[in-house]
Chains A and B, each alone.
Chain A
Amino acid sequence: MFTKILVANRGEIAVRIMRTAREMNIASVAVYSEADRTSQHVLTADEAVFLGGSDPAESYLNLDKIISAAKETGAEAIHPGYGFLAENPAFAQRVSDEGLVFVGPPAESMRLLGNKTTARRLMSEGNVPVIPGMTAAESDIRLLQAAADEIGYPVLVKAAAGGGGKGMRIVRTAGELADAAALATSEALSAFGDGSIYLEKYLDRPRHVEFQVLADMHGNVVHLFERECSIQRRHQKIIEETPSPALSPELRERMGAAAVSAARAGGYVNAGTVEFLLDRSGAFYFLEVNTRLQVEHPITEMTTGLDLVRRQMEIAAGLPLPFTQQDVHRRGHAIECRIYAEDPEADFMPSPGKIIYARSPEGPGVRYDHAVYSGWDVPVNYDPILGKLVVWAEDRTSACARMTRALKECVILGVKTPIEFLLDVLLSPEFQAGDTHTHFIEEHFASWRPSAADDDLTALGFALNEMLGPRIADRGDQAGPAQPVSPWHRLGAWDLIR
């Protein structure tokens, strides 16, 4: 096993990876940009290397700087997290060319599966059902028009290189295609460094159901069941759960088998996710393979009891999977809510700024993977994810109740967050009935406004806070440490350590 890894990422996912590394007795190296000097991942790592400016191109997307940081610190492996360079085959190749281990799939497999059009072709050949659409990326608008006419409107414009909804546009009429294609190309270019796009048929109100797979270097491939990620805004998941309320044991088995064949078809190694759309009739279509650790991986960990980052490291180190498909069991129900710095009242527009006060939810069955603390500035330069609140309970009803309780304990003040919106979704009869699909938010929550029910109480909170005045000093004797800590005491301790 490795003795030191570099985590080429930031925020909650970098912190999450470092935690498992520490449990495995592997030292972790953080990398950071100007904007992240005091970010949580830098504080969590054993060592941290400054990369450069806040622009991702000068730091988290800079291959040369990341490779030299790994060499400089003696890290043997690089974990890319999600986003940034995680699905960049050139990076995976470069890491292994430099004699380091990439904690993820081989570059070739990533190239095959990460490119959605190639992946679609592979799946069609392997009898995995695919959505009608183009099998190659295209930039010529006349050819795109012709393809759209053949598929039939509405069509979806998608980035060939990426995920996370970036570069994705729905086009309902021929007249909208040219503008949507230009915007999608430019978004894909800035997010993934590759502006290729393609078109596919747009399905009405499908569910998004994905399967987690694990594959080792010795030809063993297993799936760890599904995650349903239908609750999305702007094509980006915000609530995920497992099991999916829509899957019968028989359908689950067929989809799981399709996911395993998909991984085999692409020569996949390490942790990956095979995404499907499930339509109202129970037919499922291959969507794409995410060749990385997913944002929503914790719900699989909660229900299977497996640590996916640990599995990733073991697989990357060449170890065989210590279990077979028959050994994989799961229990109970898990839900994840993504907490972004964004304003649910203003079309989920990013809301960067200072987090003045933050307090974490706790208690039975609650896991909060985050990278925020009171006083931290949320940088404008990166994806606005602050954290993921995950709960586990015996069944779906108890998991919903537990998530509601935990969201009410998750305090973030200073930037806008969707916590209140998430609460209202969780409490809605449609969500509670499990009647979820990818247009759920547009259909039920398009005109959502915050409830004014507790506004009298918040007004009272303001008034009492003013009346009580500044109060940190007068409670120092009761609340804080009994005695002020003298720097001399600290120095004494440091002397002992030296």
Chain B
Amino acid sequence: MNFRLKVGSELHSLEVSPLDESRRATVTCGDITRTIAVEAVDSNHLNVRVDGQSRNLFVAAAPGGTWVWAEGRARFVEDADKVERRKSSGPLDQPVAVTPPTPATVMRVMVEVCQVVEKGQPCVVVSAMKMEITLAAPYAGTIIAVNTEAGAKVMPGEILVDIEPLAEAIADE
């Protein structure tokens, strides 16, 4: 089977032959081919032998991909083809907007409608897990809507303040 996988931002292509009766296979990655053997210890635990070296991997399926743990390092691994399909149908990958990085509570709104803001100017202060985070304007512009208020519970992706970019700001980008 051929896999095109995204580990972090890197693409990994590998070809794995079907597993034989003793769960052995050959894996080709670029121009390197290795013999591996795998045992499923339980639904989250794989014991993999790569060229005879035993490694324990832990896996956990999550929406959009699978967490894989090797030697203390956890990676979110995605099927690259599925990621590309999601991207082409969905909104921009990195929305440039005033939105919290984590679920949070709004502490203060520091701007109002019609106010002109500089790039980097603090707009909203949110609190998550007892830590305050200042959300700044990603570009210079005019505030056209404030969609939140102090005390509101907000989620990543929720646009707390709409900013209409200034003409120069667009030209800069």
Chain A residues with a Cβ under 8 A of chain B: 166, 183, 186-187, 190-191, 234, 341, 346, 349-352, 356-357, 359, 374, 380-384, 407-408, 410-414, 417, 419-420, 423, 450-452, 454-468, 470-472, 475, 479
Contact = CB atoms under 8 A, between A and B. Distances in A.
A312 B67 CA distance: 41
Contacts of A187: 131-132
A463 B3 contact: yes
Interface string B56-67: 011111100011
B101 A462 contact: no
A420 B73 contact: yes
Contacts of B144: none
Contact of B61 (A349, A356, A472, A475): A356
A411 B72 CA distance: 7
Given A462-B77, A464-B16, A382 B130 contact: yes
B50 interface: yes
B59 A352 contact: no
B75 A458 contact: yes
B43 A419 contact: no
Given A413-B74, A460-B36, A466-B1, 5 more contacts: A356-B60, A450-B73, A459-B68, A463-B16, A475-B42
Contacts of A381: 129
B128 interface: yes
Interface centre among B18, B38, B74 (most CB of A within 10 A): B74
Interface residues of B, number: 57
Contact of A461 (B68, B104, B133): B68
B128 A186 contact: no
B67 A463 contact: no
Contact of B58 (A357, A452, A471): A357
B48 A468 contact: no
Contact of A412 (B1, B45, B74): B74
Contact of B127 (A190, A412, A464, A470): A190
Which 5 A-B residue pairings sit nearest by Cβ, starting from the closest? A356-B60, A413-B60, A350-B129, A459-B12, A413-B67
Interface in B1-46: 1, 3, 5, 7-8, 10, 12, 14, 16, 18-19, 27, 29, 36, 38, 40-46
Contacts of B73: 420, 423, 450-451, 454, 458
A57 to B, nearest CB: 12
30 contacts: A190-B132, A349-B101, A380-B103, A381-B129, A408-B71, A411-B69, A413-B44, A413-B67, A413-B69, A414-B62, A417-B74, A419-B74, A420-B74, A423-B72, A458-B69, A458-B70, A458-B77, A460-B16, A460-B48, A461-B48, A461-B59, A462-B66, A462-B77, A464-B36, A464-B46, A465-B46, A465-B59, A467-B16, A471-B43, A479-B42
B107 interface: yes
A460 B27 contact: yes
Contacts of A183: 125, 132, 134
Contacts of A351: 102
Given A351-B102, A352-B103, A357-B60, A459 B127 contact: no
Interface in B112-159: 125, 127-134
Interface of B: 1, 3, 5, 7-8, 10, 12, 14, 16, 18-19, 27, 29, 36, 38, 40-46, 48, 50, 55, 57-62, 66-75, 77, 101-104, 107-108, 125, 127-134
B60 A461 contact: no
Nearest to A184: B132
Contacts of A479: 41-42
A423 B10 CA distance: 22
A457 B74 CA distance: 11
B67 A456 contact: no
A462 B5 contact: yes
A350 B45 CA distance: 27
A471 B40 contact: yes
B146 to A, nearest CB: 19
B19 A467 contact: yes
Contacts of A191: 130
A463 B5 contact: yes
Given A455-B7, A462-B5, A380 B104 contact: yes
Contact of A458 (B44, B62, B68): B68
A325 B39 CA distance: 55
Given A357-B58, A357-B60, A413-B60, A352 B72 contact: no
Interface centre among B29, B72, B74, B102 (most CB of A within 10 A): B72
A459 B133 CA distance: 34
A159 to B, nearest CB: 12
B157 to A, nearest CB: 14
Contacts of B129: 341, 350, 352, 380-384
Contacts of A420: 72-74
A350 B12 contact: no
A350 to B, nearest CB: 4
Contacts of B74: 412-413, 417, 419-420
Nearest to B100: A349
A350 B131 contact: yes
Contact of B102 (A380, A411, A455): A380
Given A380-B102, A420-B72, A459 B38 contact: no
Nearest to A346: B101
